[in-house]
């Protein structure tokens, strides 16, 4: 297996909680290389001694087939470019994160209508440092500048991160159980811009990385109304104090899609900025529903800017995503009107568990959780 550069090292993250850990066997191993990832899957995937069929495995939403087999070691090997097989890219202040999943869909035996194993989905991530290159060759960016006339120090980098409960650091895992609360922080790196204020215009949850897919559930809509908090059984809300004007935090009670066996979901949010001295208005706001007083309240600005959250009539663009799809960093000149600039950013896949550490569709004999974290080579 070819080895990638040693310094600085990207690293991989594999959530193998649906698989059983047996002795020193690693059922799924990932190598994050400069331009591709290599996934090695042991055919004794569940540690039961029963080998799965290689053809029952696929990589990513595009269902890419395996590349090769190692009969001596009973392993199945996938090699794919970082942008292939339907993988997604998330930008954080420190990392480029490429996410995909390994799918196991057991086919029934010939002339049989039964299956002896359950399907499994194993989320996989490759993290690449943004401040360094993984080799002497620079990482080729996958986003396109908004304008070729905009200088590097005028770029805006939008990010969306899962945080731990006290907001001090980024959450190391994207696995949750029902009853948990997601702590989500939106940020924008403003470079040498004039001071900017960040807003979360809308957020939608889906079962696939495609924000337009169905089913979907709106968490934030109508230009900054956190409508999930309007439901009787939730406490979802924006935090009333920002850490900075170019940062915004909100909490969402963990949920899953009813009537669907998939445990993975994605949240895509539309972020935008205005000049910090521009007063919040119905199109640029962050509003939460206060159940105690039965009113919508803004993070900043007067309460009347939130009145449209109840009717949904906050403007012609309310609840609509822009055409920005590839997590591009957008900038604008210092001169002229500081009109709103925006981008779509996604977190996911999120693994939603029915009980702590246990996917809800797995039998008891396969519920020994294992979290595998490997260092990329």
- Per-residue pLDDT of the chain in tens (377 residues, 90 and over written 9): 333 333 345 555 665 544 543 334 678 888 888 888 999 999 888 776 778 889 999 999 989 999 999 999 999 999 998 889 988 888 887 788 888 999 988 876 554 444 555 678 888 888 888 654 443 333 333 333 322 222 223 467 889 999 999 999 999 889 988 888 999 999 998 766 578 899 999 999 999 998 889 888 999 999 999 999 998 778 899 999 999 999 999 999 998 888 777 888 999 999 999 989 899 999 999 999 999 899 999 999 999 999 999 998 987 443 333 333 222 222 333 323 334 488 899 998 898 876 544 444 444 443 333 333 222 32
**The three-state (H, E, C) secondary structure of 238-259, written as one string:** ECCCCCCCCEEEEEEECCCCCC
Our measurement of the distance from residue 140's CA atom to the centroid of its chain's CA atoms, rounded to an integer in Å, reads 21
Exposure class string for 215-226: b at 16+ Cβ within 10 A, else e: ebbebbbbbbbb
Q: Annotate 103-157 with DSSP letters as a single string.
A: EE-PPPPTT----SS--EEEEEEEEEESSS-SSSSPPPP-S--S-TTS-GGG--E
Question: Can you say whether the dihedral through the CA atoms of 280, 284, 286, 291 is positive or negative?
Answer: positive
Paired tokens of 327 = 């997590």
Rounded distance, CA 321 to CA 204, Å?
A: 10
Instruction: Give the predicted TM-score (pTM) of the model.
Output: 0.52
Torsion on CA atoms 331, 334, 339, 342, rounded to nearest 10? 20
Sequence-ordered list of residues with C-beta below 8 angstroms from that of 344, at least 6 positions apart, any chain: 211, 268, 269, 270, 271, 321, 322, 324, 325, 327
Torsion on CA atoms 299, 300, 301, 304, rounded to nearest 10? 10
| Beta strands 175-177; 341-353: pairing state | parallel
- Is residue 187 within 8 Å of 257, Cβ to Cβ? no
């Amino acid at each position: 297996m070819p080895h990638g550069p040693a310094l600085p090292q990207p690293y991989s993250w594999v959530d193998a909680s649906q698989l059983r850990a047996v002795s020193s066997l690693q059922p799924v191993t990932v190598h994050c290389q400069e331009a591709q990832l290599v996934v090695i899957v042991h055919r004794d995937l569940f540690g039961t001694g029963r080998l799965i069929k290689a053809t029952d495995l696929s990589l990513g939403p595009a269902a890419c087939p395996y590349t090769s087999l190692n009969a001596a070691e009973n392993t199945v090997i996938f090699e794919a470019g970082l942008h292939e097989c339907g993988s997604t890219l998330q930008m954080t202040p420190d990392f480029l994160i490429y996410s995909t999943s390994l799918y196991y869909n057991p086919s029934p035996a010939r002339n049989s209508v039964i299956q002896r194993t359950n399907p499994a989905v194993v989320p996989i991530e490759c993290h690449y440092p943004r401040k360094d290159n993984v080799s002497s060759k620079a990482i080729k960016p996958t986003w396109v500048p908004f304008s070729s006339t905009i200088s590097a120090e005028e770029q805006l980098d939008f990010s969306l991160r899962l945080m731990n409960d006290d907001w001090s650091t980024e959450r190391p895992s994207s696995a949750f159980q029902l009853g948990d609360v997601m702590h989500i922080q939106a940020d924008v790196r403003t470079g040498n811009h004039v001071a900017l204020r960040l807003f979360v215009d809308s957020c939608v949850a889906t079962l696939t990385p495609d924000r337009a897919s169905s089913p979907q559930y709106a968490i934030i809509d109508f230009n900054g109304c956190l409508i999930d908090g309007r439901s009787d059984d939730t406490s979802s809300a924006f935090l009333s104090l920002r850490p900075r004007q170019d940062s915004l935090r909100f909490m969402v009670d963990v949920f899953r899609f009813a009537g669907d066996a998939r445990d993975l979901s994605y949240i895509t949010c539309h972020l935008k900025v205005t000049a910090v001295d521009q007063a919040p208005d119905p199109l640029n706001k962050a509003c939460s529903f206060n159940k105690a007083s039965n009113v919508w309240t803004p993070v900043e600005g007067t309460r009347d800017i939130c009145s449209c959250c109840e009717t949904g009539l906050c403007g012609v663009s309310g609840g609509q995503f822009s055409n920005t799809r590839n997590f591009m960093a957008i900038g604008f000149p210092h001169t002229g009107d500081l009109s709103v600039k925006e981008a779509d950013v996604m977190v996911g896949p999120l693994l939603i568990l029915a009980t702590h550490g246990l996917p809800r569709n797995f039998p008891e004999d396969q519920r020994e959780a294992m979290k595998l974290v490997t260092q990329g080579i």
